[in-house]
């Protein structure tokens, strides 16, 4: 049963325990529930011990993972597949059970059928998959009905561990029902002895006020260490690698500041449009969907000071300090765009945003945004942080790009381009540095080249976990490092709320850009104006 262990490239099983055969589950199982064959849950215990020694863990603990909204797309496409992958690879505690809850009338077999296309099951895993679903159960109920949650709690009490099991509640739900669901969980479904944790999906509100209201509501029911606000970008391999690159390498520390860095560009590009999901997207727009959360999270990791340790609070303290140094974004530092169809394109490219039948007629919602932020502290004062994101662009890409200042005292007649350090988050994870080297041969002239760490080449054959795998495993482990804290969320909304209110109020038409292009030309002009120089000849390729 081949699996992967995150954080370890050379050893297939942490601590060498991955292939041990253990005894079957000793606690009585409900009818139709089977013991897991060839258990590897010691891997979880060892991994957890190595990573999170500050939190107590008992291998014999029983865990129940409750999926609220089990009938929805998120559960079907992400949550159930992620739980299956973790279960398959022995990364969950031995005694873990899964309970779905939603308004729909469903069965476990129906859930299995709906999830099957997304679970990536290969030959030889049928028995393991059956064992996974034997650990599953499902209840139907109303989110605002206390009786439904009393029934849910009664069902949880029949599972091994009963009312004393640790409980994880994943709110794979629209924010409109968070209040009722979280209140009913608190009043009717909490474990009497084990710990309770609640995973909340974004969007965490629409602006500062609504976010504060949601935070106040959740904090009235749960303590901060019980709340896990999930932003899946914090589970990406290269986003998590930012801390190691910065604080595990001496070569970067002296140059990671305003004396050497000319600008920082954070990019998120998608080559497709709304694809029939325009109704959902139009309610939020690209800034709420990507920039205020994903890109701002990456910015804080790039800009923060070295934390006292890798504990959750030490890391998040430093991220909050960065956000507090950023003034609210103004319209003068922003370019907004909305894609239009390309008559010469094929398929979806012919259709502009306003031609999507699910988009309200005449919508002024931006599908593209470039914003320039400044971190007003000693390290970064004056350095522009350029955030770029959009749909229907020319490529799929998410990356961090540090462009360094010009070499002083040029002796090569202006032939040298600026050095850059690029962390490619997706696709094809990589870290590469653009630098100057002498052109090979009899010439004595510089040319641009690269130092390249492409994961597909360096770590050939290593499977990188999905972001949701890392983050859900973190919740089991009790680590909040890669989750958003309430004060961090407040500062993020403070930065963008005035701009968002102005956009919503004025409803000015965004600048049009063609489907499949780089975005509005005005965005490139803004980036150039604040100091980014696009002049290199080298382009990364896989």
Is residue 271 within 8 Å of residue 516, measured between CB atoms?
yes
Q: Which of 436, 470, 416, 428 is nearest to 453 (CA)?
A: 428
CA distances from 345 to 275, 351, 393, 404 (A): 15, 9, 13, 37
Q: Which of 528, 519, 479 is nearest to 55 (CA)?
A: 479
Q: Which of 21, 17, 164 is nearest to 91 (CA)?
A: 17
Q: What is the dihedral of CA 367, 372, 373, 376, to 10 degrees?
A: 180
What are the E-state strand segments in 300-409? Answer: 334-340, 368-374, 384-390, 397-404
490 burial via Cβ count (<10 Å: 0-12, 13-18, 19+): middle
Q: Is the peptide bond before 361 cis (omega within 30 degrees of 0)?
A: no
Q: Is the peptide bond before 63 cis (omega within 30 degrees of 0)?
A: no
Residue 432, φ and ψ in degrees, nearest 5: -145, 150
Is residue 227 within 8 Å of residue 218, measured between CB atoms?
yes
Integer Cα distance of 321 and 313 in angstroms = 12
Is residue 431 within 8 Å of residue 422, measured between CB atoms?
yes
- Residue 21 DSSP SS3: coil
- 3-state DSSP of 243-276: HHHHHCCCCCHHHCCCCCEEEEEEEEECCCCCCC
Catalytic residue among 63, 155, 232, 294: 294
Is residue 48 within 8 Å of residue 57, measured between CB atoms?
yes
Is residue 197 within 8 Å of residue 94, measured between CB atoms?
no
CB atoms closer than 10 angstroms to residue 260 = 14
- Catalytic, 294? Answer yes
Q: What are the catalytic residues?
A: 294
């Amino acid at each position: 049963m081949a699996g992967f262990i995150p954080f370890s490239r050379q050893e297939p099983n942490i601590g060498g325990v991955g292939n041990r055969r253990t005894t079957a589950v000793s606690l009585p199982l409900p009818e139709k529930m089977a013991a897991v064959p060839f258990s590897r849950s010691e891997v979880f215990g060892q991994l957890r011990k190595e990573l999170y020694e500050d939190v107590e863990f008992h291998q014999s603990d029983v865990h129940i993972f409750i999926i609220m909204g089990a009938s929805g797309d998120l559960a079907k496409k992400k949550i159930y597949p992620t739980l299956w992958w973790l279960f398959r690879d022995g990364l969950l505690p031995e005694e873990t059970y899964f309970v779905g809850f939603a308004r729909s009338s469903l069965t476990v077999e129906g859930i299995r059928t709906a999830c099957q296309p997304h679970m990536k099951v290969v030959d030889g895993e049928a028995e393991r998959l059956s064992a996974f679903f034997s650990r599953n159960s499902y209840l139907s109920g109303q989110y605002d009905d206390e009786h439904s949650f009393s029934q849910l709690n009664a069902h949880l009490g029949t599972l091994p561990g009963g009312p004393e099991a640790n409980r994880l509640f994943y709110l794979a739900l629209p924010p409109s029902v968070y209040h009722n669901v979280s209140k009913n969980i608190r009043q009717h479904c909490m474990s009497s002895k084990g710990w309770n944790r609640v995973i909340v999906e974004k969007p965490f509100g629409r602006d500062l006020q609504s976010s504060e209201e949601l935070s106040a509501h959740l904090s009235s029911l749960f303590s901060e260490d019980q709340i896990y606000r999930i932003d899946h970008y914090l589970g990406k391999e290269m986003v998590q690698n930012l801390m190691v690159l910065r604080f595990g390498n001496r070569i970067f520390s002296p140059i990671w500041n305003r004396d050497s860095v000319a600008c920082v560009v954070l990019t998120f590009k998608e080559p497709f449009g709304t694809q029939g999901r325009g109704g959902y997207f139009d309610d939020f727009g690209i800034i709420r969907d990507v920039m205020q959360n994903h890109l701002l999270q990456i910015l804080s990791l790039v800009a923060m000071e070295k934390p006292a340790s890798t504990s959750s609070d030490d890391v998040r303290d430093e991220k909050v300090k960065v956000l507090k140094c950023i003034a609210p974004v103004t319209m003068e530092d922003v370019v907004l765009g909305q894609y239009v169809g390309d008559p010469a394109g094929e398929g979806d490219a012919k259709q502009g945003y306003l031609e999507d039948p699910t988009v309200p007629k005449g919508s002024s919602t931006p599908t593209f945004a470039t914003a320039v932020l400044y971190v007003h502290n000693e390290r970064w004062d004056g350095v522009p942080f350029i955030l770029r994101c959009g749909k229907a662009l020319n490529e799929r890409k998410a990356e961090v790009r540090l462009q360094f200042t010009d070499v002083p005292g040029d002796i090569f007649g202006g032939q040298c381009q600026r050095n850059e350090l690029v962390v490619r988050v997706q696709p094809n994870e990589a870290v590469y540095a653009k630098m100057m080297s002498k052109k090979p041969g009899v010439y004595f002239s510089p040319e641009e080249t690269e130092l390249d760490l492409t994961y597909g080449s360096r770590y050939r054959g290593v499977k990188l976990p999905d972001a949701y795998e890392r983050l859900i495993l973190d919740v089991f482990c009790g680590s909040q490092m890669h989750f958003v804290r309430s004060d961090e969320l407040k500062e993020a909304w403070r930065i963008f709320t005035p701009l968002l209110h102005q956009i919503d109020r004025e409803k000015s038409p965004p600048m049009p850009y063609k489907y499949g292009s780089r975005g509005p030309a005005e965005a490139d002009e803004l980036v150039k104006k604040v100091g980014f120089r696009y002049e290199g000849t080298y382009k990364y390729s896989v």
